[in-house]
Chain A
């Protein structure tokens, strides 16, 4: 039973927590307890601890809505609000809705335009039986990663002063489609002047050159929260059944075709970064007694570039793999009668 051992090893390596199929009684997460929520609002345990909220739980519906909305914006940033509640040190996002504002990076308080919409929408929701309050906002960074820009940080700091508890979520729809997994990040800012006790280790992501300054200046002013997802038992059931119709789409998706522009952009960005690294390297060579710390920086710069290029390549290869598989599946049949043994089709193009 080698496969069983292999599976166990893989699960162990990746900390796979088997999520038990939620049964109907555990749908209690969907229950909105008005009294408990009001009490929590009054107590404000987050006022004393800037690091109070550590986790975010996003419902399947909210995630779907946010990703679809972000993707529909194309290369334009879009934004919206999230509704939900709090639960100890976790913020629970039950639903999200889009705002009719185009988020441009130059608007400090884009929500001012959308307040009327927000009030109207919240009112209608409460009438329809959806009792949750707004707990955060989300916006998209198409193609340049999940982090908070300078404008975002100031917006979020303002929100955290007046609309607590509030959460900021960033989604990158382009990278989602290109990598085949959801690129999402949840953040909360530290109050002005607060120094975080230790440097949290965040997952590395590549930032394009024109944005990297903005990222670097502000990256210490906020922290990321862990994101987990949940769904109701009915959702589970429906999603399982959905797979019966969905497998066609999985097989027929062609990530290479859809992402040509994005990949080209990434590669040219990488080329620029390489040039920059080269220039820095050349300068440091002039003084051979340059401080060793500077050299370390360039080295890590080059290492970063290598990692980025590896990531781009990986995505491309994955896309190509699915193309080759589809070709073998659907193109290798010949009209004339073939013997049962001759199943190989066209010769595989590479010997790996």
Chain B
């Protein structure tokens, strides 16, 4: 069921969607299981109390709840960009989707984001299931080829990759019967500058304000970690290539071609015009620094003159110093 997609569409996912889904899931989960701090004061049944006390806040008895929702965004040509998402009401036992709710929500979101439309739906879980196909088909009358975004909420510290997968549906002929099955697609994470800064802010809780030194440190730390990542990725590639050269790893020409094209893209830009523009930008920044320095100097000078005047003021009736000669 999880072969790779052949539709050729590129998917771009915004981090807001991921945080949205995670928040939805956390809320539903915490609403279902009373936190232990509240069990003593709440008037829940004693059996519930015992249940939760023994679990220590984790919901081990019931499987984690699945949440469902809709993703919205824009499709431009072959690129599908998913910007936002909202919750939906779906009853898995009766397999009924609350249509009026969906339409209401769509209307509301259309007012604020007039360019976005429904691209698909999302859910939480570890893998796509057969029952999901029903939901998928239900959404097909809004969008002929909806996406299915699956988030795996299990926290696995050893995991290196985002537990988010995007599935598309394709019509495959299995045993002579054309059936819709889910196929996995790859995606990119796309972001705007403001989103990146707020994600960074929340993720790393950088110190805000403070002296110039701390700001500089924060800025450089960010760039440093990014470069460290780049370095580690290059090392991986390098080791892979060395292994291939030695013969430990079978030669794969497609990978080799990609690496070679990557290398040939360096240097990134090497034209006269770029150098000119770059140096001009550099000069502009130096000019601004110069100006700021000037302002600082004149301000200090001003203060000095005023202090001087106050101290050595000849007209002042307050005795003390005479003019300094």
Contacts and interface: CB of A to CB of B under 8 A. Distances in A.
Interface string B21-51: 0110111111100111110001000000000
Contact of A310 (B88, B105, B296): B296
A181 interface: yes
A321 interface: yes
A4 interface: no
Interface string A106-147: 000000000001001100110111110000000000000000
Interface stretch (A46-54, A59-67, A161-169, A211-219): A59-67
B23 A28 contact: no
Contacts of A33: 38, 42
Contact of B57 (A24, A231, A244): A24
Contacts of B229: 243-244, 247
A213 B268 CA distance: 48
B121 to A, nearest CB: 14
Nearest to B23: A61
A318 B288 CA distance: 13
Interface stretch (B128-136, B138-146, B166-174, B187-195): B187-195
Contacts, number: 284
B225 interface: yes
A262 interface: no
Contact of B201 (A125, A181, A329): A181
Interface stretch (B157-165, B239-247, B248-256): B157-165
A316 B285 CA distance: 6
A180 B87 contact: no
Contact of A320 (B56, B196, B285): B285
Given A14-B207, A63-B201, A251-B227, A299 B162 contact: no
Given A128-B101, A251-B223, A98 B112 contact: yes
A11 to B, nearest CB: 9
B292 A309 contact: yes
Interface string B97-127: 0100100110010011100000000000000
Given A244-B162, A299-B302, A177 B205 contact: no
A176 B194 contact: yes
Chain B binding surface SS class: helix
Interface stretch (B2-10, B73-81, B177-185, B210-218): B210-218
A158 interface: no
A31 interface: yes
B296 A65 contact: no
Please tell me the size bucket of the interface on B: 35 or more
Interface residues of A, number: 107
Interface in A1-19: 10, 13-14, 16, 19
A61 to B, nearest CB: 4
A205 to B, nearest CB: 10
B152 to A, nearest CB: 10
A233 B202 contact: no
Given A64-B195, A176-B194, A331-B270, A241 B161 contact: yes
A237 B155 contact: yes
A159 interface: no
A256 interface: yes
> In terms of DSSP, what is the predominant structure of the interface of chain A?
helix
Interface stretch (A85-93, A187-195, A287-295): A287-295
B207 A241 contact: no
B206 interface: yes
B16 A16 contact: no
B232 to A, nearest CB: 10
A275 interface: no
Contacts of B36: 25
Nearest to A65: B16
A38 interface: no
A45 interface: no
Contacts of A324: 282
A314 B296 CA distance: 14
Given A24-B57, A60-B19, A245 B189 contact: yes
B217 A10 contact: yes
B299 A303 contact: yes
Nearest to B215: A314
A313 B203 contact: no
A31 B38 contact: yes
Nearest to A98: B112
B289 A317 contact: yes
B15 A177 contact: no
A320 B281 contact: yes
Contacts of B278: 323, 327
Residue in B31, B88, B288, B306 with the greatest tally of chain A CB atoms within 10 Å: B288
Contacts of A173: 194
Contact of B295 (A31, A249, A306): A306
Contacts of B86: 128
B97 to A, nearest CB: 13
A182 B58 contact: no
A149 interface: no
Contact of B108 (A32, A117, A289, A302): A117
A333 B267 contact: yes
24 contacts: A14-B210, A28-B38, A67-B198, A68-B192, A68-B195, A70-B194, A100-B111, A130-B27, A180-B218, A181-B208, A181-B218, A203-B209, A232-B23, A235-B26, A239-B199, A243-B225, A247-B226, A250-B196, A250-B223, A250-B225, A306-B296, A309-B296, A312-B288, A314-B215
Interface of A: 10, 13-14, 16, 19, 24-25, 27-28, 30-33, 35, 59-61, 63-65, 67-68, 70-71, 94-95, 97-100, 117, 120-121, 124-125, 127-131, 173, 176-177, 180-182, 203, 229, 231-235, 237-251, 253, 255-256, 258, 267, 274, 281, 288-289, 292, 295, 299, 302-303, 305-306, 309-310, 312-314, 316-325, 327, 329-334, 349
Given A117-B111, A247-B230, 11 more contacts: A16-B207, A27-B26, A63-B201, A120-B104, A176-B197, A177-B197, A234-B25, A245-B189, A309-B296, A318-B219, A320-B285
